[in-house]
């Protein structure tokens, strides 16, 4: 399922002295595509033509009137998010659960873009991201999601927030040349031409992009809407604007969590909603299409159901991880609180793969020997095992059992297949 745009070889955006204004209703505008003399492809690809682009409505002052079933679905989703954040398993540390759920969200969001990597490979890639291009892109997505939440927790959501999330997402990846840059030409989604002819969806011409983003960030900072509804609208509007050459889907899903964090609905833990959306790809596509073409409540219901399911699933996952930690403690001989082995077990869900330096940081010690002693104790107890990934220097150890829980969590709440089918996004 591809949510990224193709990069055109030529632009047909019209030049205007004043930025256009969004209207209260969506509009379709016509533009002429004029290919360059160097345009690749056959004769048809080198011909000019008129195409239609979709301009979203203004939402800064949007008023919503919802039917009772939608109101109930949104309320239930918010209750599930509060339950996840207010009553997690006591055996788990806040940081450990928060980081693992955020990684699950980033892995699923990347998978929607056909960037498929296992949690085990992802955890190892943090130590050697250059060894695998796809893993490096998913590592960047984790960092972008972390940055989105950090920015939303410290101030309003702004245009700079969106470009910073995008910059972090693409830095160090194959798309780095586009990092943080809002498009200034026409893009499109789907189709097999080096132009928007036959595309599944053509977003607004470039002159509308900054006005539309300005309208979006005003909306994203409102406090008079249910947070789950606000996140649903903000995400669909962002995907409709499609302001970047690449990474729109991942930034748009990070925006969901930025809105929920800013509204304090998810102060500690993110429900991995992308995991559920990836498993409901047809509903996801249908909902975004419905939003664009007038039946927004269909999208609200899809999103609310996915959010509620992801929050409930995250609580179940947290309980399983807490049970695994209890078993680790028993295997390690119930080390006393404050002991190196105990601190390391507490941190393993946040750091499922460790090296000596990581363990030093976790334990807050300078001594490599102290860190190695904690590692050896957990290796002997069957809590850690050494892994080999071709590093020239240093050794890595991974926690035993955690990746099995993550795989099980994905099978229950995510897509039926590990790699999503090639579904075009309208």
Pair 276, 309: CB distance under 8 Å: yes
**Pairing state between β 27-33 and 49-55:** antiparallel
Please give the CATH architecture assigned to the domain spanning 335-406.
Orthogonal Bundle (1.10)
Contacts of 306 (CB under 8 A, 6+ apart): 273, 276, 277, 280, 283, 284
For residue 404, give both structure tokens.
């099995």
Q: What is the mean pLDDT of residues 120-148?
A: 88
| pLDDT tens, position by position, 224-258 | 999 999 999 999 999 999 999 999 999 999 999 99
Distance CA 81, CA 269 (A): 8
| pLDDT tens, position by position, 274-289 | 999 999 999 999 999 9
Residue 362 has pLDDT above 90, yes or no: yes
Pair 188, 199: CB distance under 8 Å: yes
Residue 353, beta-bridge partner list: 398
Please report, for the chain, the start and end positions of each structural domain, with discontinuous segments joined by +. 56-317, 335-406
pLDDT band at 11, cuts 50/70/90?
very low
**Phi, psi (5° rounding) for residue 295?**
-110, 65
pLDDT band at 419, cuts 50/70/90?
very low
Q: What is the mean pLDDT of residues 199-203?
A: 94
Neighbours of 235 (CB within 10 A): 25
pLDDT band at 9, cuts 50/70/90?
very low
Distance CA 276, CA 381 (A): 35
**Domain 56-317, CATH:** 1.10.3290.10
Pair 88, 128: CB distance under 8 Å: no
Q: pTM of the entire structure?
A: 0.89
Residue 51 DSSP SS3: strand
């Amino acid at each position: 399922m591809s949510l990224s745009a193709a990069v055109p070889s030529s632009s047909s955006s019209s030049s205007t002295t004043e930025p256009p204004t969004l209207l209260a209703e969506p509009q379709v505008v016509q533009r002429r595509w004029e290919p360059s003399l160097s345009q690749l492809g056959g004769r048809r690809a080198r011909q000019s033509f008129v195409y239609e682009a979709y301009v979203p409505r203004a939402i800064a002052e949007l008023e919503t009137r919802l039917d009772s079933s939608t109101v109930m679905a949104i309320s239930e989703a918010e209750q599930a998010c509060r339950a996840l954040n207010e009553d997690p398993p006591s055996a788990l540390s806040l940081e450990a659960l928060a980081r693992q759920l955020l990684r699950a969200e980033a892995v699923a969001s990347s998978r929607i873009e056909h960037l498929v990597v296992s949690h085990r490979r992802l955890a190892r890639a943090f130590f050697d991201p250059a060894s695998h291009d796809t893993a490096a892109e998913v590592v960047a997505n984790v960092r972008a999601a972390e940055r989105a939440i950090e920015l939303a927790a410290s101030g309003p959501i702004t245009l700079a927030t969106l470009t910073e999330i995008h910059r972090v997402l693409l830095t160090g990846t194959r798309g780095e040349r586009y990092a943080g840059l809002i498009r200034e030409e026409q893009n499109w989604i789907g189709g097999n031409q080096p132009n928007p002819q036959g595309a599944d969806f053509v977003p607004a011409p470039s002159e509308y992009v900054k006005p539309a983003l300005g309208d979006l960030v005003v909306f994203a900072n409102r406090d008079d809407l249910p947070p789950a509804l606000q996140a649903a609208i903000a995400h669909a509007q962002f995907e409709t604007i499609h302001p970047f050459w690449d990474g729109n889907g991942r930034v748009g899903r990070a925006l969901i969590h930025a809105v929920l964090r800013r509204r304090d609905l998810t102060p500690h833990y993110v429900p991995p909603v992308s995991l559920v959306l990836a498993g409901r790809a047809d509903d996801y596509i249908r909902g975004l299409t419905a939003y664009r073409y007038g039946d927004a409540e269909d999208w609200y219901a899809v999103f609310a159901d996915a959010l509620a399911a992801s929050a409930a699933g995250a609580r179940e996952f947290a309980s399983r991880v807490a049970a695994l930690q209890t078993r680790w403690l028993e295997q390690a001989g119930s080390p006393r609180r404050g002991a190196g082995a105990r601190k390391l077990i507490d941190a393993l869900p946040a750091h499922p793969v460790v090296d000596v330096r990581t363990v030093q940081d976790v334990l807050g010690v300078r001594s490599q020997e102290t860190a190695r002693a904690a590692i050896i104790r957990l290796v002997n107890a069957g809590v850690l095992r050494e892994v080999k990934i071709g590093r020239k220097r240093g050794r890595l150890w991974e926690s035993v059992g955690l990746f099995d829980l993550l795989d099980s969590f994905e099978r229950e709440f995510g897509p039926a297949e590990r790699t999503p089918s090639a579904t075009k996004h309208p």
